[in-house]
Chain A
Amino acid sequence: MNMIARAFGWGVHPPENKSQSTAAPIQQAPVPSRLILPVQQHIGAPAEAVVEVGQRVRKGEVIAEASGFVSAPVHAPSSGTVTAICEHAVPHPSGLAETCILIETDGLDEWAERKPLADHATQSPVALLEHIRGCGVAGLGGAGFPTAVKLGSGARSNIEFLLLNGVECEPYITADDRLMAERARAVLDGAGLLARLVRPKRTLVVIEDNKPDAIRALRAAADGANVEIVVIPTKYPSGGEKQTIQIVTGREVPHGGIPADIGVICLNVGTAVAVRDAVIDGTPLISRIVTLTGNALGRRGNFEVLLGTPIGELLRHCALEDDRLDRLIMGGPMMGFTLPSRDLPVVKTTNCILASAVGELRTPGPEQPCIRCGLCADACPARLLPQQLYWYARASEFERAEKHHLFDCIECGACAYVCPSNIPLVQYYRYAKGEIRHAEQERIKAERSRERFESRKERLAREEAEKEARRKERREAAKRKAQEKSGGDDAAPALAPEIAAAVERVRQKKAARQRDDESDTGNADGSGS
């Protein structure tokens, strides 16, 4: 086995706190009484609900269909009745509501017909990909990117490395660790399936050296298989896709590009297992492994949880001690976000629920001015200058921030972690990114408004010209007629009725212009119709 990890200078060493949740093997979380399923649990277009309120669904049945190329379907995690399709708070830092499908479970956990891909070893890659897409597999490691899309672009490129990301560098989280230790075989099977799709030169599973069990299990299972196990030093955030790639291959994903551009494809180990389950067992993505940890929980460990399970129920299952609870975080302490309520579901990207006790997380002190010490820059895995980004973001000098590569920041939080002045740097960056995106949207909208305003003005001018032409014609016709009739006598009563009406309209309109608030009923020439 050749070691190909490289030395790297960036990164931080936050206290790991992983042992709390590695004592017990992965357990099954109970089926909750109610499931909340957001139609969007991934990057891309939201799925479209295909069930109706009151409809009974069985486990594994599609309840929302993918609605675009970058989209993934949602399946019912258990059997029950759809009680509502409505706006419901979703796990998102904003705490805002999105469309969700609510299912009242019946406790039967009754499967719909499972459809494993028969003879997957001989199936064409296209069929394999279709199957994965149909099973709703999305990345379980980070942003939840639809896996079939990623694999598709991998299959089209010339892939040299298939990386299975088992780094799991965030403190507290052990879901991948336990998965690799307990289901090493499944991980490798998944790797094999993925390798069939993207045909890499080498397949690597990347693990940090603080997971000896997983490394041992995988090495044992990989014996003979065409998969290499790469152990890298423990350092946050080496699990970030770009960072893993850099450490393992020495390549950098180009700015604005994707890993496939440099011949790499990177998937979380959980995703690999999900692919395996989908293909071999015919199990769509309806559950995932979630680490439940934090000193406020009486019972800590890893659980296989149905998607849609309300977090409140999980916490109860883990004996949450309410009076000790300090923060409730979805994800790890470095990247996760605090949850504003407990009535939120577990989704495809939920890898951890951290219920910290008071005093457990060393939270930042009061914010002080940046002293430009540069510790943040030393820690930054993207080689940015966080202190400059902060300076520009704070002053809303977004142009400069972009020039300092704001959008290459992966929001890992290493900078904020080391900052002696306790500056919530990542929040500044998120604010700046949000404002820039917002301004861009405003600009696009302004552009459209300008066009619409201009075209309206053109239309009005055209209509006015036409009207003027008509009026002139009529007037001349009237004149001619009048001359013919009475030889120059232009007494009004003598006009033809329709002309009289027109003249009256014009007169009224003029009068109305003078009294702007008086309403007029003669709207025959209203321009809007």
Chain B
Amino acid sequence: MTEFALILVSTVLVNNFLLVQFLGLCPFMGVSNKLETAFGMSLATTFVLTLSSICSYLTYRYLLLPLDLVYLRTISFILVIAVVVQFTEMVVRKTSPLLYRVLGIFLPLITTNCAVLGVALLNLQKEHGFLQSAVYGFGAAAGFSLVLILFSAMRERIAGADVPEPFRGSAIAMITAGLMSLAFMGFSGLIRF
């Protein structure tokens, strides 16, 4: 149990995917303008990330490893992810138009969210088992969501600020992310491997 708790603390705070590991930054910059959309994106990412973390693990463990095809991991993982994403999108769109309104436009973006593939690859690198992979995926998504939501709330406040002309928009967002990452350095050392 503590092991899973440690994985969670580590992925959410200490080695936050966005601010420390630099994974998933494009959607982080792209869909953080409004709090509502950030929530939608967080939900969608959490779902897909956890699911694809599990699916990638299964593909690796039961297909690539037995056949000695580890070098095909990238292509098979990305395939798994693309399919999980697209399948989720179609199902959500049909079964819950309401949810689709919230999540729909974000789902395709997730395929190219490198956090998703990153989780799958890091699971390999860290030699995680099934449950560990699932928790790692979930933790990564939770960390992503936490920071994304905080960031979007901050951006909403910046929107009203008298930011110097050249810094309006993405430049100040970048700098804000930098200061966030600065603050997150405070967590370093919390988990001593």
A/B touching: CB–CB < 8 A: yes
Please indicate the chain A residues that have their CB under 8 angstroms from the CB of B161 in the complex: 395
Q: Tell me, yes or no, whether A400 is within 8 Å of chain B by CB.
A: yes
- Secondary structure of the A contact surface, majority rule: helix
Please indicate the chain B residues that have their CB under 8 angstroms from the CB of A394 in the complex: 160
Interface centre among B156, B159, B160, B161 (most CB of A within 10 A): B160
Tell me the minimal C-beta distance from A210 to chain B in angstroms: 40
Per the bound structure, the CA–CA distance linking A392 and B157 in Å amounts to: 9
Tell me the minimal C-beta distance from B135 to chain A in angstroms: 36
Tell me the minimal C-beta distance from B169 to chain A in angstroms: 14
Interface size on A, residues (CB 8 A): 6
Tell me the minimal C-beta distance from A255 to chain B in angstroms: 23
Please indicate the chain A residues that have their CB under 8 angstroms from the CB of B157 in the complex: 391
Tell me the minimal C-beta distance from B179 to chain A in angstroms: 18
Cβ < 8 Å to A, chain B residues 152-193: 156-157, 159-161
Cβ < 8 Å to B, chain A residues 354-413: 391-392, 394-395, 397, 400
Per the bound structure, the CA–CA distance linking A455 and B49 in Å amounts to: 50
Please indicate the chain A residues that have their CB under 8 angstroms from the CB of B160 in the complex: 391-392, 394-395, 397
Please indicate the chain A residues that have their CB under 8 angstroms from the CB of B159 in the complex: 395, 397
Please indicate the chain B residues that have their CB under 8 angstroms from the CB of A395 in the complex: 159-161
Per the bound structure, the CA–CA distance linking A391 and B158 in Å amounts to: 10
Please indicate the chain B residues that have their CB under 8 angstroms from the CB of A400 in the complex: 156
Per the bound structure, the CA–CA distance linking A56 and B156 in Å amounts to: 63
Mark B114-151 against chain A: 1 for CB-CB distance below 8 A, else 0.
00000000000000000000000000000000000000
Closest to A396 in B: B160
Per the bound structure, the CA–CA distance linking A233 and B157 in Å amounts to: 39
Cβ < 8 Å to A, chain B residues 82-108: none
Closest to A400 in B: B156
Closest to A393 in B: B160
Closest to B160 in A: A395
Per the bound structure, the CA–CA distance linking A391 and B161 in Å amounts to: 8
Per the bound structure, the CA–CA distance linking A395 and B161 in Å amounts to: 7
Tell me the minimal C-beta distance from B162 to chain A in angstroms: 9
Per the bound structure, the CA–CA distance linking A400 and B160 in Å amounts to: 11
Per the bound structure, the CA–CA distance linking A394 and B157 in Å amounts to: 12
Cβ < 8 Å to A, chain B residues 15-65: none
Per the bound structure, the CA–CA distance linking A391 and B159 in Å amounts to: 10
Closest to B157 in A: A391
Tell me the minimal C-beta distance from A75 to chain B in angstroms: 50
Per the bound structure, the CA–CA distance linking A400 and B157 in Å amounts to: 10
Per the bound structure, the CA–CA distance linking A503 and B21 in Å amounts to: 77
Cβ < 8 Å to B, chain A residues 117-156: none
Tell me the minimal C-beta distance from B133 to chain A in angstroms: 40
Closest to B161 in A: A395
Tell me the minimal C-beta distance from B11 to chain A in angstroms: 32
Per the bound structure, the CA–CA distance linking A330 and B161 in Å amounts to: 35
Tell me the minimal C-beta distance from A272 to chain B in angstroms: 46
Please indicate the chain B residues that have their CB under 8 angstroms from the CB of A391 in the complex: 157, 160
Per the bound structure, the CA–CA distance linking A392 and B160 in Å amounts to: 6
Per the bound structure, the CA–CA distance linking A392 and B158 in Å amounts to: 11
Please indicate the chain A residues that have their CB under 8 angstroms from the CB of B156 in the complex: 400
Closest to A390 in B: B160
Per the bound structure, the CA–CA distance linking A395 and B160 in Å amounts to: 5
Tell me the minimal C-beta distance from B1 to chain A in angstroms: 41
Tell me the minimal C-beta distance from A39 to chain B in angstroms: 42
Tell me the minimal C-beta distance from A94 to chain B in angstroms: 27
Closest to A394 in B: B160
Tell me the minimal C-beta distance from B154 to chain A in angstroms: 13
Per the bound structure, the CA–CA distance linking A392 and B159 in Å amounts to: 9
Closest to A395 in B: B160
Tell me the minimal C-beta distance from B149 to chain A in angstroms: 16
Closest to A391 in B: B160
Closest to B156 in A: A400
Per the bound structure, the CA–CA distance linking A392 and B156 in Å amounts to: 10
Per the bound structure, the CA–CA distance linking A27 and B157 in Å amounts to: 55
Per the bound structure, the CA–CA distance linking A260 and B48 in Å amounts to: 53
Please indicate the chain B residues that have their CB under 8 angstroms from the CB of A397 in the complex: 159-160
Please indicate the chain B residues that have their CB under 8 angstroms from the CB of A392 in the complex: 160
Tell me the minimal C-beta distance from A388 to chain B in angstroms: 10
Per the bound structure, the CA–CA distance linking A394 and B159 in Å amounts to: 11
Per the bound structure, the CA–CA distance linking A391 and B160 in Å amounts to: 7
Tell me the minimal C-beta distance from A45 to chain B in angstroms: 38
Per the bound structure, the CA–CA distance linking A502 and B156 in Å amounts to: 64
Per the bound structure, the CA–CA distance linking A202 and B156 in Å amounts to: 49
Tell me the minimal C-beta distance from A18 to chain B in angstroms: 40
Per the bound structure, the CA–CA distance linking A512 and B160 in Å amounts to: 53
Closest to A397 in B: B160
Tell me the minimal C-beta distance from B167 to chain A in angstroms: 16
Q: List 10 A-B contacts (CB under 8 A).
A: A391-B157, A391-B160, A392-B160, A394-B160, A395-B159, A395-B160, A395-B161, A397-B159, A397-B160, A400-B156
The 4 A-B pairs with the shortest beta carbon distances in the complex, nearest first, are A395-B160, A391-B160, A397-B160, A392-B160
Chain A residues with CB under 8 Å of chain B are 391-392, 394-395, 397, 400
Chain B residues with CB under 8 Å of chain A are 156-157, 159-161
Other A-B pairs beyond A391-B160, A395-B160, A397-B159, 7, CB < 8 Å: A391-B157, A392-B160, A394-B160, A395-B159, A395-B161, A397-B160, A400-B156
